[in-house]
Amino acid sequence: ERGQALPRDLVGHRVVVSAGGTREALDPVRYLGNRSSGRQGYALARVAAQRGARVTLVAAHTADLGDPAAVDVVRVGSARELRDAMHATTADADAIVMAAAVADFRPTALAEHKIKKDGSEPPALPLALNPDILVELVAARRPGQVVVGFAAETGDASGDPLHHGRAKLARKGCDLLVVNAVGDGRAFEVPDNAGWLLGADGTEEELKPGSKALLASRVWDAVATRLG
């Protein structure tokens, strides 16, 4: 879409986007993390600002990305920090997009000192379940607020990516769910950035393969429709 004028349909709206992958500390030098680059969340924030929204970007760990122009950036590390930042910034937001890759689990305890390998038995790594931030934001949603989730799904024996996406939309209770179909190397080989945009109102829009900026535009189109 570079060079094309974007609609200014988000003027007067405040939006909060989360991006990147959380890191769950294990000891002073180690963490559990994931491979999220943050690029999709940054594209969502950038495009929203270009369309006139006031944008807060809550960024967990990302690749080395430049801050999008005219966006407030809040940096977080762990899932629990991300949760606190989301609750602190979304009370008066018109739309919330959870593009961050939130670690499902964290080490139960943060070791005060670096864990040493003494002896032959590796230590067990007890894990605790992290809060489901998206579910919490849906529960705290104020009237008119639009909440968007993301899901990367492969197919498996119990269904294809779209089947899993529909179930996740129902479970999360958000207004929109972006389902990225990710190939599992066998039956469901599809590009990473194609999928579906599912609405709680039953709408299902196929997302053709395209750039992260283009996907961001499709998401904001759907949000703008719901903001009225």
Among 17, 93, 100, 227, binds ligand CTP (CB under 6 A): 100
- Residues 48, 7 contacting (CB under 8 angstroms): no
Residue 83: alpha-carbon gap to chain centroid: 12
Q: Which is nearer to ligand CTP, 11 or 170 (CB)?
A: 170
Angstrom distance (rounded) from CA 91 to CA 110? 31
Query: Is 193 marked active-site?
Result: no
Question: Does position 59 bind ligand CTP by CB under 6 A?
Answer: no
Q: Which is nearer to Ca ion, 50 or 130 (CB)?
A: 130
Here the tokens at position 111 are 């070791």
| Contact of residue 149 among Ca ion, ligand CTP, none (CB under 5-8 Å per partner type) | ligand CTP
Choose the stretch contacting ligand CTP; rule: CB under 6 A; options: 28-36, 106-114, 125-133, 216-224: 125-133
b/e sequence 184-215, b meaning 16+ C-beta within 10 Å: eeeeeebeebbbbbbbbeeeeeebeeeebbbb
Q: Is 208 annotated as a binding residue?
A: no
Q: Which is nearer to ligand CTP, 50 or 180 (CB)?
A: 180
- Residue 129 Cβ, how far from ligand CTP at the closest point, in Å? 8
End-to-end CA distance of the chain, in Å? 24
Residues lying near ligand CTP in the complex (CB under 6 A): 79, 98, 100, 102, 104, 130, 132-134, 149-151
